[in-house]
Amino acid sequence: MIENEKNMESDDIGIDDFIWSKLDDFKFEEIKRKVDCLKKDYFDLKEDNIIKILESLKLDTRKNVNNLSSNFYNFIMNRKNEIERVKNMYLFDKKFGNYLYTAGTDEVGRGPLAGPIAAAAVILNLNYKDDREFILGIKDSKKLTSKRRLQLSEEIKHRALDYNISVINNTEIDKRGISWCNNEVLKRAVEGLKLPVDMVLSDGYAIKNLFNNNEFIIKGDAKSASIAAASIIAKVYRDSLMEEYSHIYTKYGFHHNSGYGTKEHIEAIKKYGICKIHRMSFLKNII
């Protein structure tokens, strides 16, 4: 009897235990652990099994198990909505033509008083076979937390067919002007891709002197999967550069303002002067 009880505690709960409402044999912690596993294995769950699992959780006599039913239901609905949202972003990219390789590109760092401008170009697999190939969570990078951006950046770089990041420093920005550098950094990001690009989707405006088909999309990082992916890895890359600079130039708060003209940053410039990564052409009204 003791041995059987020990096995009951160590054995994992199977799908059948949910379907046939045998949850009374299991502790709440075991049930919750299994529900968390089911969330991770979402793509392997059949629709009819999901319904039975929800019913089994709801019919349990324990309130905390009933709450797991609501929690799991909300997870399922949110996951379905997210898949549909991201799928529409992938479909948006496909509507420009049946190209072998379509790249999305975006830049970050046009407006800061210090640091480089950076751009990324990303080629996603638009010829997906099922929903599990989508990179869920992609959107305008500014609408993501720094932690989530970092997670997605790693996933994008791991799962993209190809990606490239390009940077132009503050010296060239002062020499060439931000408009030229903005176009050039996007162009370099695309040209640095290893795969032959058939179509380039850019955010906001066309890229000049680019020898590829190019479509520009207003607010593209909210509509296009490829542009959103590019915006995320470009921002994470530039933010990490500014984090490194913050350890060298410690007075300006680069680790949290990324070189933008915050009140703290401007006051530091007036108090301590400039450093080597400041854009002189951006500081005419400050110093």
Question: DSSP assignment of 40-56, as one string?
Answer: HTGGG--HHHHHHHHHH
Would you mind telling me the total number of residues written for the chain in this entry? 287
Q: What DSSP designation does 285 have?
A: T
107 is in an annotated binding site: yes
Strands 117-123, 213-217: parallel, antiparallel or unpaired by DSSP? Answer: unpaired
Do residues 120 and 106 make contact, with C-beta atoms less than 8 angstroms apart? yes
Sheet strands (E) in 154-250? 162-168, 199-203, 213-217
Is 106 annotated to bind a ligand? Reply is: yes
Q: Can you tell me which residue has the tokens 């059949």?
A: 46
Q: Distance (Å, rounded) from C-alpha 111 to C-alpha 143? A: 18
Longest dimension (CA), the chain: 83
12 is in an annotated binding site: no
Please tell me the distance from the alpha carbon of residue 253 to that of residue 275, in angstroms, as a whole number: 12
Rounded to whole angstroms, how far apart are CA atoms 205 and 1?
73
Residue numbering of the annotated binding site = 106-107, 203
Binding-site positions for a divalent metal cation read 106-107, 203
